[in-house]
Structure 1
Amino acid sequence: MKKHIIRLSVITLGLVWSIQALAQQDNLHQQSSVYEAPTDPMVVEKLDQWQDLKFGMIIHWGVYAVPGMIESWALCSEDWINRDSTVSYNDFKDWYWGLKDEFNPQSFDPDQWANAADAAGMKYVVFTTKHHDGFNMFDTQETDYKITDGPFKDHPKANVAKHVFEAFRKKDFMIGAYYSKPDWHSEYYWWSKYATADRNNNYDIRKNPWRWNKYKEFTYNQISELMHEYGELDILWLDGGWVRPLETVNDEVRSWGARIPEWSQDIDMPKIASMAREAQPGLIMVDRTVHGPYENYQTPEQSIPDHQMDVPWEACMTLGHAWGYTEHQNYKSVTKVVHTLAEVVAKGGSLLLGVGPTPQGLVRDEDVERLAGIGSWLEVNGQAIYNTRTTKVYQDGKVFFTQGKSGEKYAIVLIPEGEEIPATIRWTAEQAPSGSHVSLIEGGSKVKAKVKDGKVELNLSASARKRIKHPEAIVFAFD
């Protein structure tokens, strides 16, 4: 009976938890204010290739999909977490850990995921091999808290991460492995001798160096498994920025509002990086928010910077309101995502869009439909997005500007949802075309441009507007 009570409470609170999580994580994972460019030529080259791609998918999938609740965070005792007060914390943790015995995604179809991402026009993927709760979506030998040690273990695709990576490689995607540096299931991180107060490790590392060294060994070995046994990887996406050397904690980190321990949660990133790049030459490392040589690009979360940035960066955002599966998602529209993508790219970034598969192992029809709509727009207008770089003047109101590597320029005009395409388009004369004509990408119409009152002005005929079938944003090309 107790298990059913906890499940009902979780379902009731699931949406609340997801919304609270977004509010908390918005504050937690803004981009660093300092960037240190990589010096390894192979990393520099791969980072440039990644910057050409612009649009990717991040997939959160784990035991939290079974009840459709916030990923991992409900285990954490912090003020913003709202668990059912009638259920004890220990009972809740036992129930959550026990979801391992219920997670049996017999319909798991990574090719369906890859097809949906490909149809969306995405070019790279980041898959959660392990979130903070410590449940492993790969066949690690470091723990039995994994997908291959439960009811799914005899399935031919039980080693989930391997098959996800293979499915996306067949679509020629860059492959990224998400890995959580904190592991709340590990006795070397959350020691059962003590209470688990918050996201940090729950014992004084200075007094228990052996235990922390075992955790460092555990982390190193798991990342080594991923680097050596799962084919070619392009990105190691490390989450949990509070696990870091104490000397890197600055006012930026303190502003998160989470407790900062007096000891260093240093996992020896130089040693990890050396091993990882020996196995995967040119590997892009994303040690989120830990500015330095292992944060090869920055990752503002659920937000877009208010200015253009000249460092590599990626906005990681959800398609719905939550990272993982929930029964009722508050979805973004195709128009909203297209507008977000245009703004992110014009400001020098890439968009990593979050999707959460069902507990059965499928991407829902609602997600697939929206992804296809985004891809339909990109199929026509993608030349203004892919392989582009920033322009000095990148925005004028609802118009964003990008340029190709050979200097060709694009104006992406955002059309507000529900509004008609205007007959007259204007943007700043600082982005005036060198000739008198520009090309409307969809339909191929030549449009005469003139400069009037400090603005470039273009007039679209009724027939040109009628030919536009993707009205989320219209794109002009000019020299």
Structure 2
Amino acid sequence: MVTTVEEIKKYNEQGPFKANWESLSQFEVPKWFKQAKFGIFTHWGLYTVPEYRNEWYSRNMYIQGYPEYEHHRKTYGPQDKFGYKDFIPMFTAKKFDPQEWVDIFKRAGAKYYFPVAEHHDGFQMYRSEISHYNAYEMGPKRDIIGELKTATQNAGLHFCTSNHRAEHWWFMSHGREFKSDIHDPMKKGDFYWPAMPEPYNQALFSDPYPTTEYLDDWLMRVVEIIDRYQPEMLYFDWWIQHDAFKPYIQQLAAYYYNKGRELGFPTGICFKYDGMAFDTGITDVERGGFATAKPFYWQTDTAIANNSWCYTNTLEYKSVNEILITLADVVSKNGNLLLNVGPKADGSIADHDRQMLEEIGDWLAVNGEGIYGSSPWKLSNEGPTNIKEGMFQDLSALHYGVKDIRYTVNHGSVYAYVLNPEGQKQATLTAFHEFDEKNEPPFHGVIKSVEQLGQGETTWQIKPEGMVVNIKPDAANHPVGIKINLK
């Protein structure tokens, strides 16, 4: 049964959370999320079938002059003969094994998992009674999200999911500009509906303004996911910050938080671009972060490749070290890292992606005690290199060195992560310099011992410039974890 808008409103009137920001500000970040620190995101759907450029293929293949437009015509034929919908029969997912996926993610050290339930293209990766254009009825004819939830819970991870439907208001609109399979008339529930003109540079207001019919449909789709799959966390991509969505995101958040109370587990919503009032969910910073630790809890989402969120044949991969540095940096500043991996169209995970995840898992198996369940220290970071605040900052190839340190606290100890040891046998932690009345150090206590995680106790000495610690970097110059045991 589909929960109607009226039923959603009635439910919220009876719950502790009401559909307004004042009531929703009672929200508290789930404890498990603060302890988890590291999760996996996956973008997988019809847009993966062509494996070309990125996950916006469904939009870009209809924009004349775009690479996707030309590639599509050369590879599949003109858009009126072979449109985006014609990828559905090709999306068979013959190698999709949900338990294999989640086992790989667990091996990587992830504690929670966020598969995308519906992307901008409008194809639902789950069983739905709202639209027939879903993976249960078409394509692989499997309840992808349902199977992934079962596998995630079997692996002991937290199951979450993501919805990117908001942008579908305009996402398929360019197909109306020439002869293609996107044309009038369209009605609610159709795959391409409503394909309205794209509002360039109008993320808060637009003309045409989203209709009640469209917004009701958006709300019911997300509530259907909540009712059927009971995720522990939701994530929304941009455009929910649009003026039209304000009353709808409030109804959705109230319903979700009330449902979590009813079912007996805490829930939360990750949002970007001030799509919600600041204290009513979890701020997400896409491909970016903050310069220092924040008093609020936050998350960054980024991908193992710089140029796409889905699998393509032209991925520009990050190094494992770049990902590990991001993890240590984010955690030191009171955040989580949600790392995206794009499975291939057939449902398999590429060997290179798997190898990267295994290497991350190996590092966390040794260094995770200062990551999982940790909190920021009084000083989050030191050194000359640091990210600029904001989104899309991780694309700037920063070079971190042996002087760049990130701090956390856990188990009564201070943890220092040397982000790039550069093959050096010593690292200097300036936060622990000799006491000077004119320059009091951040730490002025008694140290019991110092150890390098995975290597055991090491030698150290407090000097005017800082604590000089002997370290043993590995051949890959992965970040080195140092544990400072206090007396």
TM-score, normalized by the shorter chain, greater than 0.5: yes
The equivalent position to 2:145 in structure 1, one of 133, 142, 161, is 161
TM-score with structure 1 setting the length: 0.76
* Greater displacement, 419-428 / 270-279: 419-428
Aligned equivalent of 1:475: 481
Q: Does 1:328 align with 2:327?
A: no
Q: Does 1:422 align with 2:428?
A: no
**Counterpart of 1:91 in 2: which secondary structure?**
coil
Q: Does 1:244 align with 2:248?
A: no
Change (3 A) 1:287 1:415: closer
Correspondence list, 1:101-140, <5 A: 101-140=89-128
> Which letter does structure 2 place at the counterpart of 1:215?
Y
Correspondence list, 1:222-261, <5 A: 222-230=221-229, 232-239=230-237, 241-246=238-243
Q: Does 1:399 align with 2:405?
A: yes
The equivalent position to 1:409 in structure 2, one of 399, 410, 414, is 414
| Aligned partners of 1:442 and 1:474 also within 8 Å | no
| Aligned partners of 2:405 and 2:418 also within 8 Å | yes
Aligned equivalent of 1:221: 220
Q: Does 1:459 align with 2:463?
A: no
> Which letter does structure 1 place at the counterpart of 2:92?
N
| Aligned partners of 1:38 and 1:44 also within 8 Å | no
> Aligned equivalents of 2:23 and 2:321: distance in 1?
34
Cα drift, residue 111 of structure 1: 1.0
Cα drift, residue 373 of structure 1: 0.6
Change (3 A) 1:192 1:343: closer
TM-score with structure 2 setting the length: 0.75
Q: In the TM superposition, what whole-angstrom CA distance separates every residue of 1:279-306 from its partner, at most 9, and x where no partner exists?
A: 3333201232214067511111112322
Q: Does 1:273 align with 2:253?
A: yes
> Which letter does structure 1 place at the counterpart of 2:456?
G
Correspondence list, 1:78-97, <5 A: 82-84=67-69, 91=79, 95-97=83-85
| Aligned partners of 1:36 and 1:291 also within 8 Å | no
The equivalent position to 1:389 in structure 2, one of 365, 371, 375, is 375
The equivalent position to 2:138 in structure 1, one of 143, 150, 164, is 150
| Aligned partners of 2:199 and 2:207 also within 8 Å | no
> Aligned equivalents of 1:218 and 1:64: distance in 2?
22
* Greater displacement, 76-85 / 125-134: 76-85
**Counterpart of 2:430 in 1: which secondary structure?**
strand
Aligned equivalent of 2:180: none
The equivalent position to 1:174 in structure 2, one of 158, 165, 181, is 158
Q: Does 1:439 align with 2:424?
A: no
| Aligned partners of 2:29 and 2:282 also within 8 Å | no
| Aligned partners of 2:160 and 2:233 also within 8 Å | yes
* Greater displacement, 289-298 / 221-230: 289-298
| Aligned partners of 1:57 and 1:122 also within 8 Å | yes
Aligned equivalent of 1:24: none
| Aligned partners of 1:377 and 1:470 also within 8 Å | no
Q: In the TM superposition, what whole-angstrom CA distance separates every residue of 1:358-380 from its partner, at most 9, and x where no partner exists?
A: 11111111111111111111101
Task: Say what the alpha-carbon RMSD is for the aligned residues.
Answer: 3.2
Q: In the TM superposition, what whole-angstrom CA distance separates every residue of 1:209-251 from its partner, at most 9, and x where no partner exists?
A: xx82222221222112211112x41111111x323352xxxxx
Q: In the TM superposition, what whole-angstrom CA distance separates every residue of 1:179-230 from its partner, at most 9, and x where no partner exists?
A: 012324685597668655659798634xxxxx82222221222112211112
**Counterpart of 1:128 in 2: which secondary structure?**
strand
The equivalent position to 1:302 in structure 2, one of 281, 287, 295, is 287
List runs of 5+ in structure 1 lacking aligned partners: 1-34, 206-210, 247-263
> Aligned equivalents of 1:161 and 1:67: distance in 2?
22
> Aligned equivalents of 1:391 and 1:444: distance in 2?
22
> Aligned equivalents of 2:328 and 2:129: distance in 1?
43
Q: In the TM superposition, what whole-angstrom CA distance separates every residue of 1:418-468 from its partner, at most 9, and x where no partner exists?
A: x32423544333354622631222221242332x224122235xxxx38x6
Correspondence list, 1:47-58, <5 A: 48-58=31-41
**Counterpart of 2:126 in 1: which secondary structure?**
coil
Change (3 A) 1:415 1:386: same
> Aligned equivalents of 2:332 and 2:63: distance in 1?
37
Q: In the TM superposition, what whole-angstrom CA distance separates every residue of 1:309-349 from its partner, at most 9, and x where no partner exists?
A: 22111111111232101123222222221111111111111
> Aligned equivalents of 1:268 and 1:194: distance in 2?
19
Q: In the TM superposition, what whole-angstrom CA distance separates every residue of 1:83-125 from its partner, at most 9, and x where no partner exists?
A: 4469799927962222112111111111111111111111111
Change (3 A) 1:390 1:194: closer
> Which letter does structure 1 place at the counterpart of 2:104?
A
> Aligned equivalents of 1:475 and 1:36: distance in 2?
42
Cα drift, residue 53 of structure 1: 0.7
* Greater displacement, 349-358 / 307-316: 307-316
| Aligned partners of 1:436 and 1:449 also within 8 Å | no
> Aligned equivalents of 2:378 and 2:282: distance in 1?
21
The count of corresponding residues between Structure 1 and Structure 2 is 405
> Which letter does structure 2 place at the counterpart of 1:161?
I
Change (3 A) 1:224 1:215: same
> Aligned equivalents of 1:214 and 1:150: distance in 2?
25
Q: Does 1:204 align with 2:188?
A: no
The equivalent position to 1:319 in structure 2, one of 295, 301, 304, is 304
Aligned equivalent of 2:51: 68
> Aligned equivalents of 2:372 and 2:419: distance in 1?
17
